[in-house]
Structure 1
Amino acid sequence: MNKINVKKKQILQSKGNLHSQAYIVESGLLRSYTIDENGKEHIFMFGPEGWIVTDYAAADEPCDLYIDALEDSVVIQIEKNTELEIDHKKIVKRMRVLQRRVVMLMSASVIERYAHFISTYPTIAQRVPQYMIASYLGITPEALSAAKSQHLKHLK
């Protein structure tokens, strides 16, 4: 276990690495993502304060995800092969969020996905560019703009 300071835009893990690690975010903001064969980024998750960000690749398999810092951050770096008691509630929360996200991507409207994003990550919308939110939701920036307008109308 190692506490490290990470600068904005610093890459902590690259796709294809054979040695993945887990990061507990003390302060700042991380993201995990992949880049497809056309060079398009697809954000898997954001990792704000208190979240764990990792790639669950098996020990002998290459990582599927990049992990980088969207803000200057302080993280606790954990070797994945290290036996460490991580807060069970954090793991369950992360699994629940990812499960809901998969279900949402399969069945929810764009407006429902955006509302879910806002409830899951209430502070992220002000911390990242809109194109990253669109990437996370699997939509275009134009569709995000329309979803935000509809979401605001429902709140009034």
Structure 2
Amino acid sequence: MYSALYNHINKFIDLSSEEQEILASLLKSFSFKKKAYLHEVGDICRANYFVVKGCLRLYFVDIKGAEQTTQFAIENWWISDLTSFIFQKPSDFYIQAAEQTEVIAIEHRHYDEMLAKIPKLEKYFRSIYQKLHQASQIRIKYLYSQTAEERYTNFNKLFPEFVQRVPQYMLASYLGFTPEFLSKIRAKK
């Protein structure tokens, strides 16, 4: 049932069958329709989500009322409002399904128990959070050091299948420009 997650974890650490059983007892599976919200602004984020199938996005609404996507998660990626999740504070973000999505969730109320029962998962999540932080830093650097067209071209080279999956307005907000500008870039290609 949780084989996609176990396979992902085993790329970083080895989980025994007993540890997998313990972990399974602390997890929940959910399915979300396209455009469904897993989490909304003002709520406390109660789970960290591992995407088995589909695509989620983390976004906020800026002072002009425009949606600003800060993170996507596709198969084998984690997503959460980590600040809200870790500190149990009201969130400034939404988590929404960009397409029909299946996830495995570890709820906050089980997070510390999971780490206490399976200490080696600390290393796994540290690795995941480090990769997330690195990706976030690179994205910020690109937003300030590349033209919009360069950002699109580089993103398209790195994730060509992703560019086809995600709605244009979501991709544009992630890359820091308008959907209209994205249409102009695509028209040039």
Normalised by the length of structure 1, the TM-score is: 0.84
User: Offset at 1:75?
Assistant: 0.4
Q: Does 1:32 align with 2:64?
A: no
User: Matched residues in 1 for 2:133 and 2:176: separation?
Assistant: 19
User: Structure 2: which amino acid aligns with 1:23?
Assistant: Y
User: Offset at 1:127?
Assistant: 1.4
Q: Which of 67, 74, 97 pairs up with 1:48? A: 74
- Give the equivalent residue in structure 2 for 1:80: 108
Describe the superposition over 1:27-74 as per-residue Cα deviations: whole angstroms up to 9, x where unpaired.
111111111243211111111101111112252421121001111111
- Give the equivalent residue in structure 2 for 1:71: 99
- Give the equivalent residue in structure 1 for 2:33: 7
User: Matched residues in 1 for 2:106 and 2:74: separation?
Assistant: 17
Q: Does 1:102 align with 2:130?
A: no
**Structure with greater helix share of residues:** 2
The unaligned stretches of length 5 or more in structure 2 are 1-26, 116-120
User: Offset at 1:132?
Assistant: 1.5
- Percent same amino acid among aligned pairs? 37
Task: Return closer, same or farther for 1:77/1:90 CA change in 2, 3 Å cut-off.
Answer: same
The unaligned stretches of length 5 or more in structure 1 are none
Task: Work out the number of aligned pairs and report it.
Answer: 151
Q: Is the 8 A contact 1:34 1:65 kept in 2?
A: yes
CA radius of gyration, larger in: 2
Q: Is the 8 A contact 2:29 2:104 kept in 1?
A: yes
Task: Return closer, same or farther for 1:39/1:21 CA change in 2, 3 Å cut-off.
Answer: same
**Structure with greater strand share of residues:** 1
User: Structure 2: which amino acid aligns with 1:24?
Assistant: F
User: Matched residues in 1 for 2:83 and 2:46: separation?
Assistant: 7
Q: Is the 8 A contact 2:54 2:74 kept in 1?
A: yes
Q: Is the 8 A contact 1:57 1:64 kept in 2?
A: no
Partner of 1:123, secondary structure, is: helix
- Give the equivalent residue in structure 2 for 1:114: 152
User: Offset at 1:149?
Assistant: 4.7
User: Matched residues in 2 for 1:60 and 1:5: separation?
Assistant: 24
Q: Is the 8 A contact 2:57 2:71 kept in 1?
A: yes
User: Offset at 1:146?
Assistant: 3.2
User: Offset at 1:90?
Assistant: 3.6
User: Structure 2: which amino acid aligns with 1:99?
Assistant: Q
User: Matched residues in 1 for 2:186 and 2:80: separation?
Assistant: 29
Q: Is the 8 A contact 1:27 1:48 kept in 2?
A: yes
User: Matched residues in 1 for 2:143 and 2:47: separation?
Assistant: 27
Normalised by the length of structure 2, the TM-score is: 0.71
Q: Is the 8 A contact 1:114 1:148 kept in 2?
A: no
CA RMSD of aligned residues (A): 2.1
